[in-house]
Amino acid sequence: MLTDALAPAPVTATHCPYCSLQCGMGLRAASDAAGGLDVVPRDFPVNRGALCGKGSTAPALLARPLRLTEPLIRRPASGRLEPASWDEALALVVERLGAVRRDHGADAVGVFGGGGLTNEKAYALGKFARVVLGTSQIDYNGRFCMSSAAAAHQRAFGVDRGLPFPLADVSRTGCVILTGSNMAETMPPAVRHLRELRENGGTLIVVDPRRTKTAELADLHLAPRPGTDLALALGLLHLVVAQGHVDEEFVRERTAGWEAARAAAMAHWPELVERITGVPVPQLRAAVDLFCGATDGMVLTARGAEQHSTGTDTVGAWINFCLATGRAGRPLSGYGCLTGQGNGQGGREHGQKADQLPGYRKLADPAARAHVAGVWGVDPDSLPGPGRSAYELLDALGGEVKALLVMGSNPVVSAPRATHVEGRLRELDFLAVADVVLSETAALADVVLPVTQWAEETGTMTNLEGRVLLRRAAITPPDGVRSDLHVLNSLAEKLGCEVTAKKFPADPEEVFEELRLASAGGAADYSGITYARIEAEDGVFWPCPQEGHPGTPRLFLDRFATEDGRARFVEVSYREVDEETDAAYPLVLTTGRVLAQYQSGAQTRRVPGLNAAAPGAYVEMHPLVADRLGVGDGDPVTVTSRRGRATAPARVTGAIRSDTVFMPFHWAGEGRANNLTNPALDPVSKMPAFKACAVRVERAAPAG
């Protein structure tokens, strides 16, 4: 029997702070003298004990040298950010926001949130913007994540949930088409489901212009020119019709709009699609044969297919493909989106998004406004209408929007046309940032508020499956650090809101109890979910309208979430990308992530082990491109678009198309990929066109 001295330290069951898998993990006090936390395996359905390098090193950022532990104020005398007390920092935020509202109106104050905020924070931030500030100008970086897939979900199915089935179902289907996802690097623990799919006799088709580690797992790899995914999906649907693979009974009984969608697809014959995409006709036919030859099938999209000015239509075309083949609304079949950010799903469900209220209610819907206003104790007419989308909001900074509060986002690195966005931030009358580190955006602020991290706070997240999870605090935050909820509570009180600070509790469970009421009856109904249930059941899938309800792991098995229960085909046709190549800009740039870094890199670039594995940006190019430029591996090259330039070492590989170059987007400085990217917006989702823009590449002078 172990003595007390040798007994293992207690373990706090929690979840990884990074991507939308929200892998289960345990945390316990480290056994070494340095203190801190150790990560221990935890059996959770999504990852079954496995973690990637980011998850296993996540506690490193809790250390004092790497994070903010006291408020900072930009002192007029020095022009630098210098330490301040919380009272002084909050008083300055209140004074400056109040002055802008008084002099220029409520909509002159903007709020920019993040897809990594807990459900409680996202809910409180949306409420704070609309009730305390009275502004319509709120959006979040999740607009840059899966907004096109969300819009297409709404059009086709009547509701948006990233995966309408548990991730584990992927391994049990017959064929998966994975388009625009390098899962092996962006969410490695999920790759086991792809491996198990093949072990079970299923097939995997990967669509990506690069032969990534994920593409190497595939039975068939299709490598289209970036920005042509819409043509590819329409061409495959054309072949489904031409080869007699349409599930006529399913289309007749469970869908609407087929004839118009069919006619549009038939204009995209295989030879035309080959000319547009570069994918040979035999590969197009092989993809249809594999998918339609399986008993069940799924299409999973991610940012590569969605981050275009045609992203909503591209996802719509893939949904049409699933509906026409009867691969939707049935067990082990369907369309799903691989949400990127940790709470990308929950973050948009409860009020950060410019046009939405909690429960995935529409802000412009009078009934939705009345319900939420009733929970908040305000007049529905006092709630502002829909505001600008994320990039539109950032583009308005320094003009109509004169002050900005940022929580959990780093748009200086993550936004398209980043040099322009940085300039707009510098033009603000006032910028306040709440973050855990001094990000590139926080470094521009007038006030920086240090806030708690994942292991120091309790709150819920909603993963890519629609599974609502609970992250429990494992340690006490350092002195000088407060939670985002505490910040909003204090600001609400000091700004003299008629809805008192008691309506902005700092306790996350109190906030969640109010969120349950606000979401009741909405598309994303959390009213039957409690903290106790989440802990007891390893998460609860929404919608869950009563406490006795089991939750809904699989949507659409009986009906879709439309008024008549039928899924909607949407008529879509191919449109060229917003920016074509020409003699001056002959190559296509596409961007993405690498294994050891995450999003804007504000956190992972501070973890020594991760930074050593991926220390900086690079430009991946085909040997033919490298030969034309006379460069080899490691030689510096400059990539120039119509918006800016970036310089980084070349990485030469035959795993990319010869008309395409790739850059990861995690870094600031001269290698900032988003200096180059195109802010052209999808007309429905307002998603920027991150994944395809015209560039030229030139040999750069060596540093020094």
pLDDT in tens, 151-179: 999 999 999 999 999 999 999 999 999 99
Give the model confidence (pLDDT) of 402-438 as tens digits: 999 999 999 999 999 999 999 999 999 999 999 999 9
Would you say the pTM of this structure is higher than 0.85? yes
For residue 624 the two structure tokens come to 């033919």
Q: What is the reported pLDDT for 21? A: 96
| C-alpha closest to that of 404 among 142, 603, 129 | 129
State the burial class of residue 502 (Cβ atoms within 10 Å of its Cβ: 0-12, 13-18, 19+): exposed
Helical H runs in 2-146?
53-56, 86-104, 119-127
Q: For 132-155, give one letter per residue: b (16+ CB within 10 A) or e.
A: bbbbbbbbbbbbbbbbbbbbbbbb
Domain extents in the chain: 76-144+343-448+485-507, 147-342, 587-699
Instruction: Give me the DSSP letters along 530-560.
Output: -HHHHHHHT-EESP--STT----SS-SSS--
Give the model confidence (pLDDT) of 277-314 as tens digits: 999 999 999 999 999 999 999 999 999 999 999 999 99
**pLDDT (average), residues 671-685:** 97
Q: What is the reported pLDDT for 500? A: 53
Give the model confidence (pLDDT) of 354-406 as tens digits: 999 999 999 999 999 999 999 999 999 999 999 999 999 999 999 999 999 99
Using pLDDT thresholds of 50, 70 and 90, give the confidence band for residue 703. Answer: low
**pLDDT (average), residues 246-270:** 98
Contacts of 128 (CB under 8 A, 6+ apart): 111, 488, 491, 492, 504
Contacts of 212 (CB under 8 A, 6+ apart): 182, 184, 185, 206, 655
* 239 has a pLDDT exceeding 90: yes
Which of 5-14, 244-253, 687-696 shows the lowest mean pLDDT across its residues?
Answer: 5-14
**Residue with tokens 């913007």, as numbered in its chain:** 129
| C-alpha closest to that of 495 among 132, 47, 157, 236 | 132
Using pLDDT thresholds of 50, 70 and 90, give the confidence band for residue 3. Answer: very low
Q: What is the reported pLDDT for 577? A: 87
* 276 has a pLDDT exceeding 50: yes
Q: What is the reported pLDDT for 183? A: 96
Share of the chain above pLDDT 70, in %: 97
Q: What is the reported pLDDT for 630? A: 97
**Residue with tokens 């316990």, as numbered in its chain:** 28
User: Which class in CATH covers the domain with range 76-144+343-448+485-507?
Assistant: alpha beta
**pLDDT (average), residues 253-267:** 98
| C-alpha closest to that of 361 among 346, 351, 376 | 351
For residue 673 the two structure tokens come to 């990929």
* 518 has a pLDDT exceeding 90: yes
Q: Give the 3-state secondary structure of 196-209.
A: HHHHCCCEEEEECC
* 344 has a pLDDT exceeding 60: yes
**pLDDT (average), residues 519-541:** 96
Helix (H) or strand (E) segment spanning residue 589: strand 587-592
Q: What is the reported pLDDT for 35? A: 62
Using pLDDT thresholds of 50, 70 and 90, give the confidence band for residue 9. Answer: confident
Quick check: 527 and 516 in contact, CB under 8 A?
Answer: yes
Beta strand 447-450 with 430-435 is parallel
Residue 698, classed as helix, strand or coil, is: strand
Bridge partner list, 620: 651, 662
CATH number of 147-342: 3.40.228.10
**pLDDT (average), residues 344-350:** 91
Q: What is the reported pLDDT for 1? A: 38
The rounded Cα 214 to chain-centroid distance in angstroms is 20
* 701 has a pLDDT exceeding 90: no
Give the model confidence (pLDDT) of 611-643 as tens digits: 999 999 999 999 999 999 999 999 999 999 999
Helix (H) or strand (E) segment spanning residue 277: helix 270-277
Q: What is the reported pLDDT for 503? A: 85
CATH number of 587-699: 2.40.40.20
d(CA 325, CA 295): 11
Q: What is the reported pLDDT for 122? A: 97
**pLDDT (average), residues 195-219:** 97
Share of the chain above pLDDT 90, in %: 93
Bridge partner list, 140: 113
Tell me the average pLDDT of the chain. 95
Q: What is the reported pLDDT for 12? A: 94
Helices (H) and strands (E) in the chain, counts: 23, 30
Fold matches, 76-144+343-448+485-507 and 587-699 = no
Contacts of 3 (CB under 8 A, 6+ apart): none
Q: What is the reported pLDDT for 30? A: 85
